[in-house]
């Protein structure tokens, strides 16, 4: 009788399967919209974070984010623009809608971890013995910096959830054993470091200084460059590094540069560190150096200030290739804004019932909001990443323009990873998109030069290129007579004939 009772009790327990849910409050996305399939996004829409003191006696409060990063906010907008463009298409995913869940990681790896866990789990309840549910998203777009992308990719890798970054360039992310589901619409720094070596070699510079960010991005990129440059006979007076949160190390770097005899400085710095260094060099009036830059800062409008050109004028560096996306400018400055604020420009709003947009709704007047809109470099990479996911889904769902997509097909993230490896398409402006064996895009850079126009404005003038797909001897091209050097010189004599 006891045995029968235990049997019934066990059966009852089986019927009442456990309900699994996230402990505590779920992470709410900053921007979201439902769809048949969902793409996640992670951007540093705020750049600073305040962590409350931990007493370990009560539950810690949520992290507080501050200092809006309008450049990253615009990245989120471009992701939405691409998704909405695809949703309107009757060719790509004709009867399938794409939704999105975009999180703000506040420039913190801790917040990044919270965001990725939310993207992987969702906030729905699941039942069953295994307590396992489907991933809340089919792919994740992000992040902007290599270190935070590493955190994201290491977390999603075991679950084969594809991550596509638009600007994480660390060569370390090419390791398919460690990052099996990572892709990027930008090339690895392996190629940029080689390109930097070609640039230094081209002008015969053999006595240079080097500064890099103390991060995965800066350390890996600089290590590759140093090895390649030394093989070409380049000597380094100094190699220094610092992190954005180490002001004392920054001041040491400034002092080293001030005392050095090398007039050429290779700056493998992230945007934030370059801004910090620029502020101090301007403050101490350290000028007359030839800076060689990387894609992270060489075309950053936010570095252009009334005093910065005295330090960075004549800088040369490699930039991500420009893109041309029709309709994006209109969307960024009007469509998105009207949708978010439920307002309408113009005077005939009584027809739509929408309130008129207020003057203080105009983000375009804010500093840095339009950075990269005309340049469309990283922005174009986000656009391509969204389309790569869409084309992979189009293939998996067996879509055709006449029959539509097979909505009965259940798409899993690991299938999306395999499908992304086969993606090969051409954007509407004629650019071909595909991923190599490491999950990266082909290396194609513009060489740009900081020049001042006749009206006093600063321009990033293209003066050459580096194309890794071309045969040896043709990969690197530079138009010497188009370059403007520090101090307004048109010749590099002061650099090539001195301090070598």
Per-position pLDDT tens, the chain of length 500: 544 454 444 455 445 555 666 666 667 888 999 999 999 999 998 877 777 777 788 877 777 888 888 888 989 999 999 999 999 999 999 999 999 999 998 887 778 888 888 888 865 555 555 555 566 789 999 899 999 899 999 999 999 999 999 999 999 999 999 999 999 999 999 999 999 999 999 999 999 999 999 999 999 999 999 999 999 999 999 999 999 889 999 999 999 999 999 999 999 999 999 999 999 999 999 999 999 999 999 999 889 988 899 999 999 999 998 888 888 878 877 765 665 556 666 545 444 456 666 655 555 444 455 544 545 788 899 999 999 999 999 999 999 988 899 989 988 889 999 999 999 999 988 889 999 999 999 999 999 999 998 888 999 999 999 999 999 999 999 999 999 999 877 666 555 544 54
> Is there a contact between 133 and 21 (Cβ–Cβ < 8 Å)?
no
Q: How many CB atoms lie within 10 A of CB 232?
A: 11
In 157-246, alpha helices (H): 189-202, 216-231
Give the DSSP H/E element, type plus range, for residue 434: strand 432-434
What's this model's pTM, rounded to 2 decimal places? 0.85
pLDDT tens for residues 111-129?
888 888 888 886 555 555 5
Residue 205 is assigned to a structural domain of this protein: yes
CATH number, domain containing residue 476: 3.40.50.2300
Q: How many CB atoms lie within 10 A of CB 358?
A: 9
What integer pLDDT is reported at residue 367 of this predicted model? 47
Residue 226 is assigned to a structural domain of this protein: yes
> Is there a contact between 303 and 312 (Cβ–Cβ < 8 Å)?
yes
What integer pLDDT is reported at residue 434 of this predicted model? 96
How far is residue 466's CA from residue 163's CA, in Å, rounded to a whole number? 27
Residue 432 is assigned to a structural domain of this protein: no
What integer pLDDT is reported at residue 390 of this predicted model? 97
What integer pLDDT is reported at residue 74 of this predicted model? 87
Residue 260 is assigned to a structural domain of this protein: yes
Residue 278 is assigned to a structural domain of this protein: yes
Residue 273 is assigned to a structural domain of this protein: yes
Q: Residue 267 corresponds to which tokens in the numbers above? A: 């700056």
- Looking at the DSSP bridge assignments, the partners of residue 146 are none
How far is residue 139's CA from residue 385's CA, in Å, rounded to a whole number? 10
Angle (CA) 431-437-443 rounded to 5° is 45
Q: What is the span of the domain harbouring residue 458?
A: 189-321+442-496
Q: Going by DSSP bridges, is the β-strand pair 316-320/444-452 parallel, antiparallel, or unpaired?
A: antiparallel
What integer pLDDT is reported at residue 23 of this predicted model? 64
Q: Which residue has the tokens 């893109």?
A: 323
User: Dihedral through CA 166, CA 168, CA 173, CA 176, nearest 10?
Assistant: -10
How far is residue 211's CA from residue 139's CA, in Å, rounded to a whole number? 35
How far is residue 290's CA from residue 241's CA, in Å, rounded to a whole number? 18
Residue 123 is assigned to a structural domain of this protein: no
How far is residue 14's CA from residue 210's CA, in Å, rounded to a whole number? 65
Q: Residue 251 corresponds to which tokens in the numbers above? A: 């001041």
The DSSP output letter for 371 is T
Q: Which residues contact 474 (CB under 8 A, 6 or more apart)?
A: 467
Provide the domain count of the chain.
Answer: 1
Residue 216 is assigned to a structural domain of this protein: yes
> Is there a contact between 358 and 378 (Cβ–Cβ < 8 Å)?
no
Among 80, 25, 494, residue whose Cα is nearest residue 261: 494
């Amino acid at each position: 009788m006891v045995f029968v009772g235990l049997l019934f009790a066990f059966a009852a327990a089986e019927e009442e399967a456990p309900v699994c849910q996230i402990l505590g409050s779920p992470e709410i996305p900053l921007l979201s919209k439902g769809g048949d399939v969902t793409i996640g996004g992670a951007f540093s829409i705020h750049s600073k974070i305040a962590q409350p003191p931990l007493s370990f006696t009560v539950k810690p409060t949520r992290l507080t984010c501050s200092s809006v990063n309008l450049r990253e906010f615009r990245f989120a907008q471009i992701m939405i623009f691409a998704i909405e463009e695809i949703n309107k298409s009757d060719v790509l995913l004709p009867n399938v809608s794409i939704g999105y869940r975009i999180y703000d990681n506040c420039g913190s790896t801790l917040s990044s971890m919270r965001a990725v866990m939310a993207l992987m789990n969702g906030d729905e309840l699941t039942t069953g013995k295994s307590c396992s549910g489907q991933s809340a998203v089919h792919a994740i777009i992000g992040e902007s910096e290599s270190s935070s992308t590493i955190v994201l990719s290491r977390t999603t890798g075991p679950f084969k959830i594809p991550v596509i970054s638009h600007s994480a360039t660390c060569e370390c992310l090419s390791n398919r054993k460690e990052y099996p589901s990572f892709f990027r619409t930008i090339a690895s720094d392996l190629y940029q470091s080689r390109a930097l070596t070609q640039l230094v070699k081209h002008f015969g510079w053999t006595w240079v200084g080097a500064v890099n960010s103390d991060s995965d991005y800066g350390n890996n990129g600089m290590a590759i460059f140093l090895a390649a440059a030394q093989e070409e006979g380049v000597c380094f007076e100094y190699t220094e590094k610092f992190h954005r949160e180490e002001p004392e190390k920054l001041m040491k770097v400034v002092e080293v540069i001030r005392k050095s005899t090398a007039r050429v400085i290779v700056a493998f710095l992230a945007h934030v560190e370059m801004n910090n260094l620029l502020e101090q060099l301007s403050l101490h009036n350290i000028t007359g150096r030839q800076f060689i830059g990387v894609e992270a800062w060489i075309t950053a409008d936010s570095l252009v200030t009334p005093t910065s050109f005295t330090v960075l004028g004549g800088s040369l560096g490699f930039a991500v290739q420009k893109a041309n996306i029709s309709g994006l400018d209109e969307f960024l400055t009007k469509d998105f804004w009207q949708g978010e604020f439920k307002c309408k420009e113009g005077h005939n709003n009584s027809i739509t019932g929408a309130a008129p947009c207020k003057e203080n709704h105009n983000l375009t007047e804010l500093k840095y909001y339009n950075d990269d809109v005309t340049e469309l470099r990283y922005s174009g990479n986000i656009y391509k990443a969204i389309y790569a996911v869409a084309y992979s889904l189009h293939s998996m769902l067996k879509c055709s323009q006449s029959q539509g997509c097979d909505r009965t097909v259940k798409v899993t993230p690991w299938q999306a990873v395999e499908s992304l490896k086969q993606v090969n398409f051409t954007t509407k402006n004629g650019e071909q998109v595909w991923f190599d064996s490491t999950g990266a895009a082909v290396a194609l850079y513009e060489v740009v030069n900081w020049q001042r126009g006749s009206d006093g404005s600063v321009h990033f003038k293209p003066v050459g290129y580096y194309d890794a797909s071309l045969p040896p001897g043709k990969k690197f091209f530079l138009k010497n007579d188009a370059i403007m050097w520090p101090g307004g010189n048109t010749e590099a004599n002061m650099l090539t004939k001195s301090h070598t």
